[in-house]
Amino acid sequence: MSEEKGKIARALDWVLNNAGFLAGVVTAGGFVVIILVMFFNQPFFERLADKEVARGLITFLVALSTVGLALILITYLIASKQENGDVVKENYQMGKEILNSMIGVLGTIIGFYFGSTINQNPVSNVSDQEKPLKIISAKVEPDTIEVGGDFKVTAEISGGVAPYEYGISFIPNEGLVKKKDLPTDGVINEKYTLPDNYDPDRQLWVMLQIKDQVGGSQDNISNPILINVSK
């Protein structure tokens, strides 16, 4: 009976003396399992082509390494015999330096992975998709158009969900063709020629209509652009 107790005591003593090594083996074994699962999982390799998936995997592996190394140091420090205090202290210091390096790498990765999505300007924190669809900087160039002369209608679209579509119409529309459902990424720049027979005494107005990909629409019908016409 005493012999069996002696074997158990020696086994426990060996485990305590080699606690750091055993913890390292367990951590390394976890890495081996992860690598084997990835190796035999073909769809996972295809997903690694996605930048976000690859970044998440790197973050996970570095985090696992850091936590594993911390557990190894804690286990080694607690389980080591104090009569070898100098050796324990030296080994712990070396391991702590490696752990500090891993923590620095992990902090950099986490800061980039999570911190880069934080907008420091709360005013501009709303995405364009959440902003209302509207027409900005709408104008006609030049300011005054001669009968038979060329002019262009320009404007910009903001908010909504791009890409957009737009249309341009005139009041009156004599000789000026209405344009409808033209694609754009947010810029309107259309050229026209005022007909030679247009009566310069009649006022000419330009109206814009826009819409986005989710059904939003806007126009300037209540405030059309006035074109100055001269003889």
The whole-number pLDDT of residue 28 equals 73
C-alpha span between 177 and 165 (Å, rounded):
17
Query: Cis before residue 142, ω within 30 degrees of 0?
Result: yes
Query: Cis before residue 172, ω within 30 degrees of 0?
Result: yes
Distance of CA 161 to the CA centre of its chain: 17
Distances (CA, A) of 40 to 33, 34, 37, 216, 220: 11, 10, 5, 47, 60
At 84, which amino acid appears? N
Maximum mean pLDDT: which of 9-13, 16-20, 27-31, 37-41: 27-31
Distances (CA, A) of 78 to 19, 72, 89, 90, 149: 9, 10, 12, 14, 90
Q: What is the pTM of this model?
A: 0.44
Average pLDDT across the chain, whole number = 76
Pick 128-230's CATH classification: 3.40.50.300, 2.60.40.770, 3.10.440.10, 3.40.50.720.
Answer: 2.60.40.770
pLDDT tens string 89-146: 676 676 677 777 777 777 777 776 665 444 444 444 445 456 889 999 899 999 899 9
CA quadruple 199, 200, 203, 207: dihedral sign: positive
Residue 65 pLDDT level (bands cut at 50, 70, 90): confident
Q: Provide CATH 2.60.40.770 ranges for the chain.
A: 128-230
Contact assessment for residue 54 and residue 92, using Cβ atoms and an 8 Å cutoff: no
Q: φ, ψ for residue 147 (rounded to 5)?
A: -60, 130
Going by C-alpha positions, the residue among 70, 79, 87 that lies closest to residue 27 is 70
pLDDT tens string 192-210: 999 988 888 888 889 999 9
